[in-house]
Amino acid sequence: MFRTYRAAFRVPGSGRFAAAGFVARFSIAVYPIGLVLLISLKTGHYGFAGLLSGIYVVSNGAGNSVLGRLVDRFGQSRLLIPATCVHLAAVVTIIALVESNAPHWALVPPTIVIGLSYLPIGSLVRARWSLVLAGQPELTTAYALESTLDEVIFTLGPLLAAVIATQLSAVWVFVVAGLLVGAGAFWLSGQHDTEPRAQEAGAPPHQSALRYRGIVLLILSAVCMGAMFASAEVSIVAFCGQHGQKGLSGVALSCFAGGSAVSGFLYGARHHARPARERFVRQALILGALSWLFLVTVDVPVVAVVAAVVGAGIAPTLISAFGLIESIVPNAALTEGMSWLVTGLSIGYGLASSLVGSIADAHGARVAFTVGIGAGVLVCVLALTLRARLRVSAESEPVAVG
């Protein structure tokens, strides 16, 4: 099982950039809950705390695609330091404003800057994997590794934030988050041997990743996937609370993330001969079918089991989606293309989070689960439409995977 992972890490420098990327993007799961803790523990109010967290998520999603395009044009090392400095300055600003009891509106601008200036580190690392493993089957393994690490981050990040906020101070959540981003970004910026080449000086700007056949449909699929993930998570928390076991919601969410992490790791341990588009369609159909299992939830233990099973469909779908982008978009626009996928996930997650919570309050968690099921159906429809569209394009042939 571990042979394919060892093969991927035999490439010189791969362990260093994977580790740097993990450190630099760990805070992506810390900032949203950190903002909620920062405001709620200070004022006792959750309304503005949730709003501020949503502003961060939307800003980060908007900034990902723009920064991804700039990285493709100028190179990772030229963007990592300036963008990170702006990011850290915004983190210091929001800490200073909170400590000085500034009005709520004053926290909005630095929150927006924190989101906009946070580079899409996951896309940068995947672009490096695409460079060092070009044309090799281990590339799917590398994408699986990154997706597994994402699940680890989203499992441990909120936990770390909660421990720091309750044992020290909510302000220290941002101190630690900023230090992790800075350390990881500076570490990654010095690794020039595995950095994808920037666009040559004087060359005209490359075509946007959005112009390539199928990318828009893939991004819409990502929006639906993000909506499904958010619906499942919010509905799980609501279900546990409405059954008098709110304390077990963390366990159920861990099962959701754990199922994804395990399946992603196992998926990456295999070599896949099918074209990228066929792998994505297959995984999308599996994910959509698994979402219907939420209808059988009757108590919290069943929810935890169902969450683990449904979660098992997440990572393979995301891995195949990143592989599909790699097969459609040329290297000159690869970081931007991957960043758009992350942006789609963020948009879907943000939209569904606000919708599902209201439905759970008004009609119960079981009804709220239907939002995720509907999103899963849309993922299937869009995946099948995407496959039909790619069949008529020469760009549908995989160039680096399988």
- Secondary structure string (H, E, C) spanning the chain: CCHHHHHHCCCCCHHHHHHHHHHHHHHHHCHHHHHHHHHHHHHCCCHHHHHHHHHHHHHHHHHHHHHHHHHHHHCHHHHHHHHHHHHHHHHHHHHHHHHCCCCHHHHHHHHHHHHHHCCCHHHHHHHHHHHHCCCCCHHHHHHHHHHHHHHHHHHHHHHHHHHHHHHCCHHHHHHHHHHHHHHHHHHHHCCHHHCCCCCCCCCCCCCCHHHCCCHHHHHHHHHHHHHHHHHHHHHHHHHHHHCCCHHHHHHHHHHHHHHHHHHHHHHHCCCCCCCHHHHHHHHHHHHHHHHHHHHHCCCHHHHHHHHHHHHCCHHHHHHHHHHHHHHHCCHHHHHHHHHHHHHHHHHHHHHHHHHHHHHHHHHCHHHHHHHHHHHHHHHHHHHHHHHHHHCCCHHHCCCCCC
pLDDT for res 397: 47
pLDDT for res 54: 75
pLDDT for res 392: 59
pLDDT for res 330: 78
Q: What is the pTM of this model?
A: 0.76
Work out the number of other CB atoms within 10 angstroms of the CB of residue 4.
Answer: 18
CA 137 vs. chain centroid, Å, equals 23
- From first to last of its 402 residues, what are the pLDDT tens digits of the chain? 567 777 778 888 889 999 999 999 999 888 887 887 787 777 665 567 767 877 888 888 888 888 988 888 888 888 999 999 999 999 999 999 988 888 888 989 999 999 999 998 988 998 898 888 877 878 888 888 888 888 788 778 877 887 888 788 888 989 999 999 999 999 999 899 888 887 665 555 567 777 888 889 999 999 999 889 888 887 887 888 788 876 677 778 778 888 888 888 788 777 766 777 888 999 999 999 999 998 888 888 888 899 899 988 988 898 888 888 878 887 777 778 888 888 888 888 777 876 777 787 788 888 888 988 999 999 999 999 988 888 755 444 444 433
pLDDT for res 258: 82
Do 196 and 400 meet the contact criterion of CB atoms below 8 Å apart? Answer: no
Please state, in angstroms and rounded to a whole number, the distance separating the CA atoms of residues 382 and 222. Answer: 10
Please state, in angstroms and rounded to a whole number, the distance separating the CA atoms of residues 283 and 184. Answer: 32
pLDDT for res 247: 66
pLDDT for res 208: 73
Q: Which two tokens stand for residue 244?
A: 């008098």
CA distances from 371 to 167, 280, 284, 352, 390 (A): 37, 22, 17, 8, 28
Closest by CA position to 347, among listed 128, 122, 108, 57: 57
